Amino acid sequence: MLSRPPVDEKRAAMRVVIVGGGFGGLALARRLRRAPLEVVLLDRRNFHLFQPLLYQVATGGLSAASVCTPLRYVFRGAKNVHVWLAKAVGLDPRARRLQLADGEIAYDLLVVAAGSRPHFFGHSPWAQVALPLKTVEDAAAIRSRVLAAFEQAEREHDPEQLRALMTFAIVGGGPTGVELAGALAEVARYTLRREFRRIEPSLARILLLEMAARILPGMPPTLSARAERTLRRLGVEVLTNTQVVEVSPAGLRVRRGVLEEELACGNVLWAAGVEAVPFVRAVARATGAATDRWGRILVNPDLTVPGFPEIFVLGDAAATRDENGQLLPAVAPVAVQQGRYVSQLIRARLRGKPHPPFRYRDWGYLATVGRHEAVGTLFGWKLWGWPAWLLWALVHLAKIVGFANRLLVLLQWAWAYLTFGRTARVMVEWQPAPSSEGNS
Amino acid sequence: MLSRPPVDEKRAAMRVVIVGGGFGGLALARRLRRAPLEVVLLDRRNFHLFQPLLYQVATGGLSAASVCTPLRYVFRGAKNVHVWLAKAVGLDPRARRLQLADGEIAYDLLVVAAGSRPHFFGHSPWAQVALPLKTVEDAAAIRSRVLAAFEQAEREHDPEQLRALMTFAIVGGGPTGVELAGALAEVARYTLRREFRRIEPSLARILLLEMAARILPGMPPTLSARAERTLRRLGVEVLTNTQVVEVSPAGLRVRRGVLEEELACGNVLWAAGVEAVPFVRAVARATGAATDRWGRILVNPDLTVPGFPEIFVLGDAAATRDENGQLLPAVAPVAVQQGRYVSQLIRARLRGKPHPPFRYRDWGYLATVGRHEAVGTLFGWKLWGWPAWLLWALVHLAKIVGFANRLLVLLQWAWAYLTFGRTARVMVEWQPAPSSEGNS
C-alpha cells in the first residue's frame, strides 16, 4: 500500500540525519533540541529501548513496556526534531543521500548510531536454536521459552526429556550472561516454588558457559571470583574455559581444553557478543572505511569516518580506540558519551570553532548477580554485595528515559521484592498455543 | 522434543477436568479449592485474561501484563488444583477420555469452558485483513497497526494513500466496538497531538459500523442514543444499518439499504461477534448435542450436555436459555455465574443432594464511551455520563484477578488521567522492522 515517496529534499536549515534511536542516537538528538538545525531521527522501531534492564523482562521481573519509551513522546516538544519510522539500508556518500527501505533522504550531516546485533561467530544456523537478548521480542521469547520449558516438564513422563527440558544453558559469561543466569536461578528457586505439582523447579540445572578463564573478564579478577561464588550459591553451574562448538535442539557440544563434551539441554540462551548490523557494513562499503572483526567502523578520533567529515559513527556501530589504543567496548555509557560529544562537535562546527577529539571517561561498570547483589567498579573502586546492588538500582532508575517508565520500574521492583513474585509472566508466543505443538 | 505421554490415569479421588481458564473455568476452579476432588485446569495459555480491559491494551492505555494473571499463581496454594498447559482437541465420552494435542486425560467430570473466537460470518479470508480483539496478541497487533498507520502517514506523499492510512473502521457496534471507537478517538485527538510534524492525527477518520438500526442494540434505546452522541462529539462517524459485504486491504464494501458503497480504509478492526472454538464443535459432534448458529452447545437447564450428566458446558461455549427462552449473551458475568453454579452443583452431587437449575441474575452491563463517560444499566436503572464511568472503573478494578494486577491497572489509569498520556505504546510487531516493508 505504501507508495515510494520522492527524494526528500532538504529545507533551508542544515539537516542532521541520525540513524538509530538507541543510547547514542537519543543522547545526541536530545542535545540538539533547539539547535539551529533540522534533526531527523530514524529508527526501525517507534521506541527507545533501555537494554540494561532487558534481562529482567526476559525473566519476568519487568513488563516490556517498562523498558521502552516512545521516541515521539520524548521529542514531542522539540519542533526541530523529526522522528521517522524507517529502516536505513544504504548510503550514497557523494550525493549525500541515505537510502531507506522505502525512499531516500538527503543530509548535510549523517550520524550512524545503528547499534549492533547478536553475534553467532559465523554459525548462523545456531540462531534457530539459541535465543539471544537484544530486542524486546528476544526478551519475550526467552520468557516464553523458560516458562514453556517448566510447563512441558510438568507433563513430561520420559526422564531424559524431562532432564533436558529442565536444563538451561547461558552462553557468554560477560555482564549480560551473568545477570541472566542470576535472575533465572532466582525464578527457578523462588518464584515458581509451590506452583507445580509434579516437577520441582528448583531442581532445574542452570549452566553459565564462558570461553575465557573467568566470567566477567572485563572486570578485576577478584570481582569475577565474587560473582562466581554468588552464582554457585544460587545454584548456577559456572563452566569457564568452555567453548561452544555446536548448538542443536538436543543441546550443546562444548570443548574444554582438548576434550569435547555433549550437554543435553532444551534451552540455550545466547549472551555471547555483538556484531555490526548490515547497514553499518553497507556504510563501510560505501565509504571504503576499515572495520574491526565485528564489522564496526574504525573511526577517526573525532568519531568521523576517514575521508568523510560529515559522517559520524558512534556507539556499538563504531570501533573507537582509547588513549592506550584499546578498542572501547560496546556498552551503553560509551554510546551516551559519544552521542553527547558529537552534539558538542556539531555545535562547535556551527560556530566555526575547533573541538578536541573524543575521550571516554570510564566511571565504572556494575552488573547484578541475583536479586540482592552486584559486582562492579566505580571511579576505580571495587564494589560488591548489597551496597553495589543498591547503587546499580539507583543508577539505572535515574537513567531510564521518561518519568512514567521510572515509576513503573520502581513499582515493579518494589512489588517483586515484597512478594518474591515476578508479575510479568505472560507467556507471549508468536505461534499459536505454545502448549503442546512441540518445542517453540 | 516432547514425547507423547501415556494416558493419564486417574487417582483415587474423583477428577474434574476443566477445559479453559477464562472467566467461567476460573470461577469454577476457585470454588473447588479444598473440595474432596482432584481438579485439573487446562488452558492453551498459562494465564487468565481479563478481556473487558483488552480494548485499553489495544489502544495503548494499559500494558498487556496488566490484564493477564498467571494461572499457576492463582492456584499456588490449592493443593488439589493442577494447572496444565495443554490444548484439548477431542473427546471420547464413552471412555470418559479427553483428547489433547499431545496426550489424553481421563475424567470423572468434564467442564467445557473453552470460550469463543472471533466470527467472520463465514468469510475466513477477511481474517487476513481485519484485526479482531480476543487475545493479548490481537490487542498488541491492533496497537501496532494503529501506531504504524500514523507513522506511515507521516512519511506518505500520495494524498489518497494518506487518507486511507488515516481512516480506521471498526466493524461491530456492540460494547467492544463502542469502547474501541471511543478509546481510538481519544488517542488520535489527544494522546498523539504534537508528536507528528507533517500529519495532524486528530484529522484521522474513525468509523463505527453497525448492522442494526442502533449501536449497543442490547441496551435500552435511550442509552444507545446517548452513546452515539458522545461518540460523535469525539469525532467518530457512526454508521448504523450498515452491513459489511467485503473486506480487502484497500478497504470495505458496505451495504446500506439497497445501496452498496466503497470505503477506502487501511485499518479494519473487527468487533463483530464470536463463535464457538473448534474444540466445542468437536464436543458437540462426539456427544450428538445440538448447537446454535454460532456453534455453541445447547445445554440442559443445569448446564449439562443432553444425555451426558458428567459433561458440563458453560460460558461462551454454551447456548443457555433464560426463563423467557432467550439465549444468554456471550459475556463475562454469565460465564462467572455459571462457573459458580457448576461448583455448587458438583458439591451438591458429592453430598448426594439435588440442586436447582441455573438461573442468570442480570445485574446490568456497562460500556465506556471515551475516557470520561459510560452508559449502562444497573439493577434495571439506566446510567450514563461520568458517574457511570466511575462505577464501571470501580467494578472492573474489583473484578481483576490478583492484587498486583489491580494495583498496576489503577496506577496506569491514574497516570493516563493525569497526563493525557498513554504509556503503553510499544509497537510490538511479529515481523521484523515494522518500518517500511509494506503494510503489516
Query: Mapped to the 3 state alphabet, what secondary structure does A327-347 carry?
Result: ECCCCHHHHHHHHHHHHHHHH
Contact across the interface for A63 and B68, Cβ inside 8 Å: no
All residues of chain A having their beta carbon less than 8 Å from the beta carbon of residue B63 are 63-66
DSSP letter string, A6-67: PPB---SSEEEEEE--SHHHHHHHHHTTTSSEEEEEEESSSEEE-GGGHHHHHTTSS-GGGG
Stretch A204-231: mean pLDDT, rounded? 96
Closest chain B residue by Cα to residue A156: B5
Residue A258 and residue A229 in one domain = yes
Label residue B216 left, alpha or beta by phi (over 0 means left) and psi (-120 to 50 means alpha).
left
Q: Are B114 and B88 in contact (CB under 8 A)?
A: yes
Mutation target for B interface from A62, A73, A439: give the one with most B CBs within 10 A: A73
pTM: 0.88
Contact across the interface for A157 and B419, Cβ inside 8 Å: no
Q: Which of B38, B156, B179, B228 is catalytic?
A: B179
Residue A154 and residue A285 in one domain = no
All residues of chain B having their beta carbon less than 8 Å from the beta carbon of residue A196 are 72
The answer to whether residue B205 is domain-embedded is yes
Closest chain A residue by Cα to residue B73: A195
Stretch A416-435: mean pLDDT, rounded? 49
Rounded Cα distance between A81 and A68, Å, is: 19
B323-329: Cβ within 8 A, 24+ apart = B323/B359, B327/B292, B328/B360, B329/B218
pLDDT for res B108: 97
Closest in B266, B430, B433 to A44, CB measured: B433
Give the number of domains in chain B: 2
Contact across the interface for A101 and B192, Cβ inside 8 Å: no
The answer to whether residue A318 is domain-embedded is yes
Contact across the interface for A1 and B436, Cβ inside 8 Å: no
State percent of chain A over pLDDT 70.
Answer: 92
Please tell me the distance in Å from B113's CA to the nearest CA on chain A.
16
Q: Are B90 and B282 in contact (CB under 8 A)?
A: yes
Q: Are A384 and A368 in contact (CB under 8 A)?
A: no
pLDDT for res A427: 54
SS3 assignment, position A383: strand
Contact across the interface for B85 and A435, Cβ inside 8 Å: yes
Contact across the interface for B404 and A425, Cβ inside 8 Å: no
Rounded Cα distance between A225 and A228, Å, is: 5
Three-state SS annotation for B172-237: CCCHHHHHHHHHHHHHHHHHCCCCCCCCCHHHCEEEEECCCCCCCCCCCHHHHHHHHHHHHHCCEE
pLDDT tens-place string over residues A344-366: 999 999 999 999 999 999 999 99
Contact across the interface for A86 and B192, Cβ inside 8 Å: no
Rounded Cα distance between B229 and B211, Å, is: 18
> How distant, in Å, are the alpha carbons of A19, A141, B62 from that of B66?
33, 19, 7
C-alpha cell at A296: 564496526
Residue A235 and residue A283 in one domain = no
Residue A142 and residue A266 in one domain = yes
Q: Are A335 and A23 in contact (CB under 8 A)?
A: yes
Contact across the interface for B2 and A161, Cβ inside 8 Å: yes
- This model of the complex carries an ipTM of 0.83
Rounded Cα distance between B367 and A410, Å, is: 32
Three-state SS annotation for B17-45: EEECCCHHHHHHHHHCCCCCEEEEEEECC
- Domain end residue (candidates: A350, A381, A416): A350
All residues of chain B having their beta carbon less than 8 Å from the beta carbon of residue A266 are 1
| Sheet order of strands, B131-132 included | B131-132, B267-270, B167-171, B205-209, B236-239
Q: What angle do CA A185, A186, A191 make, to 5 degrees?
A: 125
All residues of chain A having their beta carbon less than 8 Å from the beta carbon of residue B1 are 161, 164-165, 249-250, 266, 438-439
Closest in B68, B151, B435 to A101, CB measured: B435
All residues of chain A having their beta carbon less than 8 Å from the beta carbon of residue B427 are 45-47
The answer to whether residue A424 is domain-embedded is no
CB pairs under 8 A between A and B: 218
Contact across the interface for A435 and B266, Cβ inside 8 Å: no
Please tell me the distance in Å from A324's CA to the nearest CA on chain B.
38
Closest in B5, B151, B427 to A156, CB measured: B5
Residue B183 and residue B212 in one domain = yes
Residue A420 CA to its chain's centroid (Å): 26
Rounded Cα distance between A307 and B227, Å, is: 64
Mutation target for B interface from A8, A19, A75, A85: give the one with most B CBs within 10 A: A85
Closest chain B residue by Cα to residue A7: B157
> A373-378 and A381-384: which strand pairing?
antiparallel
All residues of chain B having their beta carbon less than 8 Å from the beta carbon of residue A164 are 1
Contact across the interface for A46 and B147, Cβ inside 8 Å: yes
All residues of chain A having their beta carbon less than 8 Å from the beta carbon of residue B200 are none
The answer to whether residue B27 is domain-embedded is yes
The answer to whether residue A404 is domain-embedded is no
Residue A220 and residue A134 in one domain = yes
- Domain end residue (candidates: A237, A272, A307): A272
Residue A297 and residue A172 in one domain = no
What CATH number is given to the structural domain containing A302? 3.50.50.60
Contact across the interface for B72 and A196, Cβ inside 8 Å: yes
SS3 assignment, position A83: strand
What CATH number is given to the structural domain containing B148? 3.50.50.100
Residue with cell 512478594: A419
- Domain end residue (candidates: B321, B350, B379): B350
Contact across the interface for A85 and B155, Cβ inside 8 Å: yes
Phi, psi of A203 (to 5 degrees): -85, 5
Query: Which structural domain, as residue segments, surrounds residue A240?
Result: 124-272
Q: Spell out the residues 6+ positions from residue B361 whose beta carbon is closer than 8 angstroms to its own.
A: B337
Closest in A72, A158, A433 to B44, CB measured: A433
C-alpha cell at A95: 550525493
Residue A105 and residue A134 in one domain = no
Phi, psi of B263 (to 5 degrees): -120, 110
Contact across the interface for A72 and B1, Cβ inside 8 Å: no
The answer to whether residue B77 is domain-embedded is no
> How distant, in Å, are the alpha carbons of A142, A163, A268, A320 from that of A205?
16, 8, 12, 39
All residues of chain B having their beta carbon less than 8 Å from the beta carbon of residue A148 are 85
Answer yes or no: A9 catalytic.
no
C-alpha cell at B415: 497516570
- b/e burial code for range B210-248 (CB count within 10 A of at least 16 → b): bbeebbbeebeeebbebbbebbeebbbebbbebbbeebe
Contact across the interface for B136 and A161, Cβ inside 8 Å: no
Rounded Cα distance between B429 and B144, Å, is: 6
Mutation target for B interface from A11, A63, A128, A267: give the one with most B CBs within 10 A: A63
> How distant, in Å, are the alpha carbons of A17, A306, A310, A312, B167 from that of A349?
16, 17, 11, 13, 44
Rounded Cα distance between B375 and B218, Å, is: 12
Please tell me the distance in Å from A76's CA to the nearest CA on chain B.
5
Q: What angle do CA A88, A89, A90 make, to 5 degrees?
A: 105
All residues of chain B having their beta carbon less than 8 Å from the beta carbon of residue A47 are 425-427
Residue A253 and residue A316 in one domain = no
Mutation target for A interface from B81, B150, B435: give the one with most A CBs within 10 A: B435
Low-confidence residues in chain B, pLDDT < 50: 1-7, 428-440
Nearest to B374, CA basis, from B49, B50, B52, B61: B52
Rounded Cα distance between B100 and B90, Å, is: 7
Residue A106 and residue A220 in one domain = no
Contact across the interface for B156 and A5, Cβ inside 8 Å: yes
> Amino acid letter at B200?
E
> How distant, in Å, are the alpha carbons of A44, A71, A436, B161 from that of B142?
18, 19, 27, 19
Please tell me the distance in Å from A111's CA to the nearest CA on chain B.
19
Closest chain A residue by Cα to residue B61: A65
Closest in A1, A165, A408 to B249, CB measured: A1
Closest in A1, A423, A430 to B430, CB measured: A430
> Amino acid letter at A1?
M
Q: What is the largest CA-CA distance in chain B?
A: 74
All residues of chain B having their beta carbon less than 8 Å from the beta carbon of residue A3 are 156-158, 161
**Confidence band for A8, pLDDT divided at 50, 70 and 90:** low
The answer to whether residue B426 is domain-embedded is no
Question: A381-395, A418-432, B121-135, B270-284: lowest mean pLDDT where?
Answer: A418-432
Closest in A194, A249, A424 to B65, CB measured: A424
Rounded Cα distance between B35 and B38, Å, is: 8
Q: Which class for A248: exposed (0-12), middle (13-18), buried (19 or more C-beta within 10 A)?
A: middle
Please tell me the distance in Å from A33's CA to the nearest CA on chain B.
14
The answer to whether residue A164 is domain-embedded is yes
Residue B155 and residue B251 in one domain = yes
pLDDT for res A10: 54
**Confidence band for A91, pLDDT divided at 50, 70 and 90:** very high
Closest chain A residue by Cα to residue B103: A436
Is a pLDDT exceeding 50 seen at residue A440? no
pLDDT for res A12: 63
Q: What angle do CA A59, A56, A217 make, to 5 degrees?
A: 100
Number of H helices, E strands in chain B: 11, 26
All residues of chain A having their beta carbon less than 8 Å from the beta carbon of residue B249 are 1
Residue A280 and residue A207 in one domain = no
